[in-house]
Amino acid sequence: MPESTGPAAPSETIIAQRGDSVTSLSEDRGFFWETIWNHGDNAELKEKRKDPNIIAPSDSVYFPDRILKWESRATEAKHTFKKKGVPATLKIKVKRLGKPRESEPYVLEVDGTLISGTTSSTGLVECDIPPNARSGTLKFNGGKERYAISIGGLDPIETNAGVRQRLKNLGYQILSIDSPIAANDAKDAIKRFQYRANLDVTGDADDATRSAIKDAHS
């Protein structure tokens, strides 16, 4: 057989949606994310966003032709093929009443797969997941405590949605990311964050506040 038969899928430019990342979009289309992130046609996106997991809705991501490759193998025999690539790593810090839930057993369900583990001394849940996973359920106490989690790319911290997403993940009350009430809702959360971070309490997401939110979230 020939080594290849031409494109399995033609090149395309994808307009990102909320929750997309270069990592998830690449996995969906059968590419290594590094191939797409380092492609010359995505150089402007890479320079602007810096992180393949943080792109904004309406960002354009270019995907080149995907080429099929054929491998010759003997008939009437069993062969094993191993998919290349690496999983994504999910990291979540879990707290109760402001204190880390340390050394607690948990089960994370993602796309029908159950992942068991124990939180760290800082309440950290860290495990490998599929790069294109979108949601999951984190369970404690044998499933009696369940937390729905959204998995996916964040909006850039320079955007209002990016600020609100991170504050919500940090435990601040954010009822909506994009609704008409989101601005007032976020203003109160920003004030509370600024007070705890010893910043000027204005309710406005200035550069210092955005930087502090980003550091606290990471």
For each of the chain's 218 residues, which pLDDT tens digit applies? 444 455 667 889 999 998 899 999 999 998 999 999 999 999 999 999 999 999 999 999 999 988 777 778 888 888 777 666 667 888 888 888 888 999 999 999 998 889 999 999 999 999 988 888 888 999 999 989 998 888 877 899 999 889 998 998 888 888 777 766 667 778 889 999 999 999 999 999 999 999 999 999 87
CB 213 within 8 A of CB 166: yes
- Give Cα separations from 7 to 35, 68, 146 (angstroms): 16, 6, 44
Last residue of a domain, one of 15, 37, 67: 67
CATH number of domain containing 60: 3.10.350.10
| C-alpha–C-alpha distance, residues 11 and 9, integer Å | 7
Q: Do 167 and 200 fall within a single domain?
A: yes
**Residue 29 placed within a domain:** yes
Q: Do 143 and 165 fall within a single domain?
A: no
CB 129 within 8 A of CB 117: no
Tell me, rounded to whole angstroms, the distance of Cα 121 from its chain centroid. Answer: 23
CB 4 within 8 A of CB 69: yes
| Beta strand spans in the chain (E) | 7-9, 12-15, 60-63, 66-67, 88-93, 95-96, 99-100, 105-110, 113-118, 124-129, 135-140, 145-150
Structural domain that includes position 209:
160-217
Q: Do 92 and 146 fall within a single domain?
A: yes
Q: Do 146 and 165 fall within a single domain?
A: no
Number of domains in the chain: 3
β-bridge mates for residue 32, sequence order = none
